[in-house]
Amino acid sequence: MKTTESPAPIPAESGPPVTKVDVPARKPSAAKKDGNVLNVFSHGMLILWAVMVVMPLLWAVMTSFKDDSSIFGSPWSLPDKLHFDNWSRAWTDAHMSDYFLNTVLVVGGSLVGTLVLGSMAAYVLARFDFPGNRFIYYLFVGGMSFPIMLALVPLFYVVNNMGLLNTIHGLILVYIAYSLPFTVFFLTAFFRSLPTSVAEAAFVDGASHSRTFFQIMLPMAKPGLISVGIFNFLGQWNQYMLPTVLNTDPDKRVLTQGLVQLAVSQGYKGDWSGLFAGLVMAMLPVLAAYIIFQRQVVQGLTAGALK
């Protein structure tokens, strides 16, 4: 019987021995080191800035629950007891409730008027090309650079001649005029960043200009409206110069006037705990508005850049 022999294995080719070479790890480049140093420095500056902003706020809140002896005896210590009577005293005895109501009426009315009028003007300037378009736009831009101090005297005479001096609605109209330049400037750029295809489709379907604006374009501009609304709310809520000149009626004072009056009276009464309680009352609505709408504010600021 024949047997089959398996073929002999082919010897491997002989060659020089392979030696392993250890590759040294790459050292970080100088640019990367500089970037790390810059990041550490920038983060450190941000932390320092945050501490500088937050510490006075926390100190004011903490002081509003102290009595006067603790404020001057140990200003940086925590209150040994929460004195809620400071808040009730500021709300009633210092008439902060009346000032708060007046401020809500003035800021609420002016904010609605500013957003409605400013959005309509910005939409027309952004979407329609007509003679004088750029001239009107630059008039609004120029209004942003005009110092309000230079307009106080003529503004006083205009408001007085119109019979609006020492009135809530007169202050609302002045706030609207004061806030319109920035509102139109901000919303014009925002409306230009919105797509035109949606409005064109609405026109094809027979929608009028007013319906297209209120039902289509205005909801699309919601992030921009919230952003500019927050900015106007901050400026109008903290406004002091305009109401001081145009509103001298003690019964129609706004919060900023009331706080100044409360601070002046400290020389005679010494109610510093009530003053800090009133100060925190004035700050809370602003903080609450920004905390609630902070995401919309960021979206509105970045939407104009990402077209």
Per-residue pLDDT tens digits for 144-153 = 988 888 889 9
Find the domain containing 61 and state its range.
40-82
* pLDDT band at residue 263 under the 50/70/90 scheme: confident
> Is 60 in the same domain as 197?
no
Domain end, chosen from 55, 82, 109, is at 82
Structural domains counted in the chain: 2
The 10 Å Cβ neighbour count of residue 94 is 22
* pLDDT band at residue 297 under the 50/70/90 scheme: confident
Does residue 26 form part of some domain? no
CATH of the domain at 182: 1.10.3720.10
* pLDDT band at residue 177 under the 50/70/90 scheme: very high
Q: Using CA atoms, how far apart are residues 30 and 32, in angstroms rounded to an integer? A: 5
CA angle 173, 236, 217 (to 5 degrees): 75
Helices of type H across the chain: 30-63, 68-73, 85-92, 96-127, 133-145, 152-161, 168-193, 197-204, 209-212, 218-220, 222-237, 241-246, 255-264, 266-269, 272-303
> Is 71 in the same domain as 177?
no
Kindly report, residue by residue over 57-95, the tens digit of the pLDDT.
899 999 999 988 888 888 888 888 888 999 998 898 888
Kindly report, residue by residue over 265-281, the tens digit of the pLDDT.
766 666 788 889 999 99
To 10 degrees, what angle do helices 272-303 and 96-127 make? 10
* pLDDT band at residue 22 under the 50/70/90 scheme: low
* pLDDT band at residue 2 under the 50/70/90 scheme: very low
> Is 228 in the same domain as 274?
yes
What value does the mean pLDDT of the chain take? Answer: 85
Which of 305, 268, 284 is closest to 103 using CA atoms?
Answer: 284
* pLDDT band at residue 292 under the 50/70/90 scheme: confident
Q: Using CA atoms, how far apart are residues 25 and 48, in angstroms rounded to an integer? A: 36
The whole-number average pLDDT for the span 203-229 is: 89
Q: Using CA atoms, how far apart are residues 255 and 98, in angstroms rounded to an integer? A: 9
Q: Using CA atoms, how far apart are residues 218 and 224, in angstroms rounded to an integer? A: 10
